[in-house]
Amino acid sequence: MDRLGVSALDGPSMLQTQPSELPGSTPGELPSFAEAAGDGLAERLASLCSERVYNLSEPVVYFPVRHHSPVCSHHLLRVMRAYRPEIVLIEGPEGASELIPVLADEATEPPVSLYCTYESDEEKAAWYYPLLSCSPEYTALKEAAARQIPCSFIDLDYRPRPGAMEEVSASLQDEKLLTSSDFMAELCRRMNCRSFEELWEKVFEIGGLSAQTDAFVRDVFTYCTLSRMCYSEQRLRREGELDREANMRLHIRQAREQYGRVLVVTGGFHTYGLLDPEPEGPWQAVRDSDIADAASPKEAPNEDDTPAPGTDPPMRKTDGGEDTVTPEAERSEQAESGKASPGEQTYSGKPSTSLPECSPGRIGKRQHYPMIYTFEEADRLNGYASGMPYVSYYDELWAELRRGRRSPYARVSQRLLARLTREMRKQNEPVSTSDAIEAYSMLQGLTALRGKREGGVYELMDAVLACFVKGEFTLATDAPLRRLRALLTGDKIGRVADSGWVVPIVEDVKRRAATARLELRATGKRKRTLDLYAKPRHRAVSQLLHCLSYLVPDFAKRESGPDWVSGRHMNLVRETWSYAYSARVEARLIEQSLYGGTLHEAAVRKLEETAAELPDHHSGELAELLLQALLMGLQETADQLYALVKAALRKDAHFLSLCRTLHALDRLHQHGRLLGLRPDEALPALLDEAYGRAVDQLPAIARAAPELHDEMIQGLKLLIMLAPARPEHGLEERFAALLDDRELAPRLEGVCLVLAIKQGWRLRRELVTRANGYIRGTPEQVAKIAIYLQGVFVAGRDVFLYDDELLSEVDALISELPHDSFVEMAADLRLAFTFFTPGEKALIAGRVARRFGVRESELDRPAVDERLLLRAEALDQAIRREFAAWNLT
Amino acid sequence: MQETIKPPAEVLYEKQLKALREEDTGSRPPHWLLSPRSVRDFIIGREQPALLEGREIAITRKFYGNDVLIERAIVTLAGNRGLMLVGEPGTAKTMLSELLSAAISGTSLNTVQGTAGTTEDMIKYSWNYAMLLDQGPSEAALVPSPLYHGMKHGVLTRFEEITRCPAEVQDSLISILSDKVMSIPELEGGVLFAKPGFNIIATANIHDKGVNEMSGALKRRFNFETIRPIANMTMEAEIIVSQSRTLLEHSGVEVEVDRGVVELLATTFMELRQGISREGYKLEMPQATLSTAEAVSVYVQSAMTSYYYEGGTIGLDRLVQNMLGTIAKENEKDLGILKSYFAKVVKARAGEDELWKALYEEKRWIG
């Protein structure tokens, strides 16, 4: 009985099931399903497997796998021992074969990945090729290294993505065709499995553990091939699967010429397509329609199965062995046979240059890098479809398998239950050891009920759901399950051995992060609070984080702290950062490597490029870049930027841009020492120059667009603030000229006037005079009074708050307004008062109340409802009429 | 016409249970009549019929919804903790508990009905006072409760609506569930040890008004399973058809169940329950419970009224009248919700579908 749960004892009809082993299914169900698709299909697939796929006496042995499957790895090791291959060929990007020694290095710790980029004029794309400890691909290349035999990747570097121009990242191990086929859906239903994943675990990961290797290979091959047969050739071609297989076949053929025993490790979905020459027989023609229409088995179509006009004809050999090829297929066929290139190369394990492009025009730059990967990103359930889910669980299982332990699933489950209990308790959840014990016995009960040899991840989840969740299962009570999911996925980040292949910038970042004690070895968001000014060591960490987040915006985020660039929260002295490392961050870093070999180099180059791209009169943006450079601790670049800012100032004639420059320079001048910057002698002169330039541009603001007013008001305030130290620039005259400008926008007029009054340049009375000018003007002018007041309030709230004279003037002004004008401008007036805080508004209201002799407490009374007033008025008139009728007065 | 209005599950499915018992060779927990696997097959059905005296007996599906939940529930019952089925009213918790007891212990009648007036005596045991006064405390004078019976004979005890009982009464289960022993201080050496096979299946409505909170200590002694309303219209329609047919047959009403009307009813109930129409529009949700069981009752009531007063098949006017009684029973607001459902959703569909049009024409009944 030492066989897979789903396979029968009697030879090739593997799809026959044992009722005792397969709850809910009956003998004969599955065979009828397979038979409907083709007469004796399962038997023939099985014999095909034992003859051509897994036949250790053949020069080529194909080992079908599922990505990240520990039990596939387990059997693969056995195969490598039994077959003693001379070369191992692995489904992986052929261009990255050179990187295999790095991946197989002792110091490399999975999860790691290859990062493959492709860039052409039309398209930019990137793929990951992740490897976990339990991945069969990783096992194969480690074992090949241990046996000192060559090992090579044989898949294409490129995946077609029709119509994609934007940059996307995907996995090279996409399995959606395998997992979503109709065949699998039907199988899940019949075997009481809720998903393909559960089915796979039940049959292959748990059942397969105790199977003989040949039976295991046969089962994987049969299942994957049946699944493959649910797709038409057109579909496979469209998805690019056939091109990839053609490429792999070519590699295998080349290897066969040179080596006596070739082991091919690929996804099970492809194994059938790799057999060379292509197997003949009626199963070739199984299509989706045949499976769907399973009730009426069709006779095997081959030559008759001419494809519909307009579709790609399949590349298939007829019974006569002659090729019926179309021009499209011909090219591929020629490529496969290798005859196309007269100067045929011997197989060297390196990507052959004679390989044709699989479709014309796909010539672009391809690069491959070894990099770390994370469990979080490797977990299929997190949205990056590739391989098995719950990677940490299966990784631990693989560790148990490697130690040769009995009942590996039980051990992993026990450990996880204990860990879950501990973690839940740490979070003060009411969880007891008794829950864990109950859960374990539930796990065993479910295992027996579902006819599994050992309880896997699904039994573990069910057990935790039943025994840890108290009360109704809702969002509020699902913490145990959420926690368990996190444990099943894991938070590990891998490590890539030091080698010439590791991208220098990545190494540099890791070295710096280690010094700064940033955690880059586990996933998950982490926080770090830095005493920015008091501790130079913390400032260095801040500079590193600034630098990193400048290059890779996803990595770190400043949650709070002084923002030097925008000038906000400058009163804070601590910075809080959150950061999370992931393969995606590393990939972005690798992309940044074109800027330089170290973090600083890259940041400097990127800054320089950004600066060069700015028009040379945008001094404001340059000054902000300068601030950024200083925050990153790049003093030398900053020195160059000073020069650029200085040059730009002379060309800059834009008031707002000049104000931004002034802001930035002033901030540096005032607080630069907080950042530990050495005092720059050139800075005061530069600041002075910026000030002068800004003052010169003042007349231009009179006619600025209203949406720029807010920023201009800030600029005006800054100029006034800096004015006392710089009387020689004649700000007073400029203000006077501005105030005399009839075109000056009312809002700016209010601001300028208040600022001038504060400086003692103008008399307070002018505020009222100018307001009167609006009120007594034409109707259009009357409407502007509210906007003028907005300006007054925004610049002089203190004036208004404590000056009774101004208050009474404003009151008089408003009461003079005609009713209609008041209603019209009520909205703008209301807006004018929003510049005050609620406390200030209360203060003003109190003063207004006192003016009219009303007690302040009266103000808190709710307003009388308008309808009530109307009713009272009507009532009043009615009573009056009554009184009049009765001659009462 | 049968003798009882609602025969218990073990009578209703007698043949299926017998057939399963005969073929069952799997290992069984002590005192279980079926192996866990056969219990599951009994509840969720299977394609392959069982054989009883040479005849094929179809094993039908009796519970629709989450099959994995059934597996967990069965394993819980074979273990140390009690099984607590929670969920909204009308989600077939009671039916599931009956099916489990019938399959495992052969009876679904060993039941404590929880109410606000349930006392500890009713849960444990009470006395035949005449005999008690006459002979003093003796086992013969003791009146066993269903729980006592369950412990003594190793059968499942069902506890319906446990959250309706006062918390202190609920808590009398704590020691019984953890120690599996009941002490009877009135009797000399009065200790009742539970026989293997004993366990408790409790059901509780959590959203209902007037329920009591359960203590943490009691919660710890149960494994909880949450039963959700059916989210699949076709499946719900299926259940309404089959249950209505059974109920109408039992009432002697000989009419065919109208599949179209059932689907209409199922759609209405599901949309109002989930607060979204099938076109994706947001709807107000009434407070009243709109379970599948309520839908069955609406259908059966309407069919019976039409049968007795009009002498024909179900009329949509009767359907709307009964719908009104079910949906708008909690408060006035629910009536408004039903009205706006007719004004928006039913009206829009009336243009495309004859049946919906007929339904819309009956909107006068809801005012």
Write the pLDDT tens digit of every residue in B93-121: 888 999 999 999 999 999 999 888 889 88
Residue B363 CB partners (closer than 8 Å, separation 6+): B320, B342, B346
Do the bridges between strand A60-65 and strand A262-267 make them parallel or antiparallel, or are there none, so unpaired? Answer: parallel
CA distance A383 to B25: 44
Contact A50, A42 (CB under 8 A): no
Would you say residue A291 has pLDDT above 60? no
Q: What are phi and psi of A94, to 5 degrees?
A: -60, -30
Q: Is B178 on the interface with A (CB under 8 A)?
A: no
Q: What is the pLDDT of residues B300-358, one digit of tens each?
A: 999 998 888 887 788 888 888 888 888 877 677 888 888 888 888 888 888 888 888 88
Distances (CA, A) of A275 to A257, A628, B77: 16, 59, 52
Q: Between residues B147 and A22, which one has the greater pLDDT? A: B147
For A640-671, letters b (16+ CB in 10 Å) and e give: bbbebbbebbeebebbbbbbbbbbbbbbbeee
Of A192, A442, A472, the CB nearest to B79: A442
CA distance A397 to A405: 10
What is the band of A39 on the pLDDT scale with cuts at 50, 70, 90? low
Quick check: B75 and A445 CB within 8 A? yes
Residue B271 CB partners (closer than 8 Å, separation 6+): B277, B278, B283, B341, B345
Tokens of A347: 């197989």
Residue to mutate among A473, A477, A478, with most B CBs inside 10 A, is A473
Distances (CA, A) of B224 to A441, A477, B69, B352: 16, 11, 10, 45
Residue B206 CB partners (closer than 8 Å, separation 6+): A471, A472, B86, B87, B88, B163
Q: Is B258 on the interface with A (CB under 8 A)?
A: no
CA distance A309 to A45: 31
Q: Is B79 on the interface with A (CB under 8 A)?
A: yes
CA distance A317 to A338: 18
Contact A582, A121 (CB under 8 A): no
Q: What interface predicted TM-score (ipTM) does this complex get? A: 0.83
Would you say residue A20 has pLDDT above 50? no
Would you say residue A298 has pLDDT above 80? no
Where do the structural domains in chain B lie, given as residue ranges?
A: 9-227, 233-366
Contact B156, B198 (CB under 8 A): yes
What is the band of A25 on the pLDDT scale with cuts at 50, 70, 90? very low
Say what percent of chain A tops pLDDT 70: 82
Contact A543, A633 (CB under 8 A): yes
| Segment A594-600 mean pLDDT | 79
Q: What is the pLDDT of residues A147-185, one digit of tens each?
A: 999 999 998 887 765 443 334 445 555 555 555 666 667
CA distance A225 to B157: 51
Would you say residue A384 has pLDDT above 90? no
Q: What is the pLDDT of residues B205-253, one digit of tens each?
A: 877 666 778 888 888 899 999 988 887 788 888 888 888 888 888 788 8
What is the band of A675 on the pLDDT scale with cuts at 50, 70, 90? confident
Contact A265, A66 (CB under 8 A): no
Q: Which amino acid type is present at position A528?
A: R
At A877 the pLDDT is: 94
At A296 the pLDDT is: 35
For tokens 């190494």, name the residue.
A507
Contact A463, A421 (CB under 8 A): no
Q: Between residues A737 and A124, which one has the greater pLDDT? A: A737
Q: What are phi and psi of A60, to 5 degrees?
A: -125, 130
Q: Which of B207, B180, B202 is nearest to B191 (CA)?
A: B180
Q: Using an 8 Å CB-CB cutoff, list chain A residues near B36.
A: 445, 448-449
| Segment A543-554 mean pLDDT | 88
Q: Between residues A139 and A667, which one has the greater pLDDT? A: A139
Contact A561, A532 (CB under 8 A): yes
Poorest-pLDDT segment among A178-182, A331-335, A845-849, B286-290: A331-335
First-to-final CA distance of chain B: 39
Residue A809 CB partners (closer than 8 Å, separation 6+): A767, A768, A771
Q: What is the pLDDT of residues B146-161, one digit of tens each?
A: 999 999 999 999 999 9
Tokens of A161: 């993505």
Contact A626, A664 (CB under 8 A): yes
A409-423, A543-557, A715-729, B315-329 — which one is most confidently predicted on average?
A: A409-423
**Sheet containing strand A124-131, strands side by side:** A168-171, A124-131, A112-119, A365-372
At A306 the pLDDT is: 35
Q: What is the pLDDT of residues A831-844, one digit of tens each?
A: 877 878 888 888 88
Residue of chain B minimizing CA distance to A446: B75
At A395 the pLDDT is: 92
| Segment A510-526 mean pLDDT | 85
Task: Measure B365 CA to nearest chain A CA, in Å.
Answer: 37
CA distance B204 to A773: 77
Q: Between residues B38 and A16, which one has the greater pLDDT? A: B38
Q: Is B67 on the interface with A (CB under 8 A)?
A: yes
- What sign results for the dihedral spanned by CA atoms A754, A755, A756, A757? positive
CA distance A310 to A332: 19
Q: Tell me the angle at which helices A433-449 and A408-426 cross, rounded to the nearest 10 degrees.
A: 150
Q: What is the pLDDT of residues A723-764, one digit of tens each?
A: 877 777 778 888 888 888 878 888 888 888 888 888 888 887
Would you say residue B70 has pLDDT above 90? yes
Residue to mutate among B224, B225, B227, B228, with most A CBs inside 10 A, is B224
Q: Which of B302, B207, B307, B181 is nearest to B253 (CA)?
A: B307
Q: Report CA B106 to chain centroid distance, whole Å.
A: 17
Q: Which of A19, A28, A437, A452 is nearest to A203 (CA)?
A: A452
Q: Tell me the angle at which helices B332-341 and B316-327 cross, rounded to the nearest 10 degrees.
A: 140
At B106 the pLDDT is: 92
Q: Which of A398, A55, A413, A450 is nearest to A217 (CA)?
A: A55
CA distance A441 to B292: 34
| Segment A415-437 mean pLDDT | 90
CA distance B114 to B161: 5
Model confidence, pTM? 0.72
What is the band of A765 on the pLDDT scale with cuts at 50, 70, 90? confident
Tokens of B262: 């059932």
Task: Measure A3 CA to nearest chain B CA, in Å.
Answer: 20
CATH topology of domain B9-227: Rossmann fold (3.40.50)
Tokens of A677: 């910057």
| Segment B44-53 mean pLDDT | 87
Residue of chain A minimizing CA distance to B59: A24
Q: What is the pLDDT of residues A676-699, one digit of tens each?
A: 777 777 788 888 888 888 888 888
At A223 the pLDDT is: 82
Contact A518, A580 (CB under 8 A): no
**Helices (H), ranges, A341-426:** 375-378, 391-402, 408-426
Task: Measure B76 CA to nearest chain A CA, in Å.
Answer: 7
Q: Using an 8 Å CB-CB cutoff, list chain B residues near A22.
A: none
Q: Using an 8 Å CB-CB cutoff, list chain A residues near B80.
A: 438, 441
Tokens of A859: 């103000």
CA distance A407 to A460: 15
Say what percent of chain A tops pLDDT 90: 17
Of B78, B214, B223, the CB nearest to A466: B223
What is the band of A308 on the pLDDT scale with cuts at 50, 70, 90? very low
Would you say residue A311 has pLDDT above 90? no
**Sheet containing strand B222-227, strands side by side:** B111-113, B156-160, B199-205, B82-87, B222-227
Q: Which of A50, A90, A91 is nearest to A279 (CA)?
A: A50
Would you say residue B259 has pLDDT above 90? no
Of A449, A472, A474, the CB nearest to B36: A449
Q: Using an 8 Å CB-CB cutoff, list chain B residues near A24.
A: 41, 46
Q: Using an 8 Å CB-CB cutoff, list chain A residues near B219.
A: 470-471
Residue B352 CB partners (closer than 8 Å, separation 6+): none
- Taking all residues of chain A, what is their mean pLDDT, rounded to a whole number? 77
Q: Between residues A40 and B360, which one has the greater pLDDT? A: B360
Quick check: A467 and B81 CB within 8 A? yes
Contact B96, B73 (CB under 8 A): yes
**Helices and strands, counts by H and E, chain B:** 18, 11
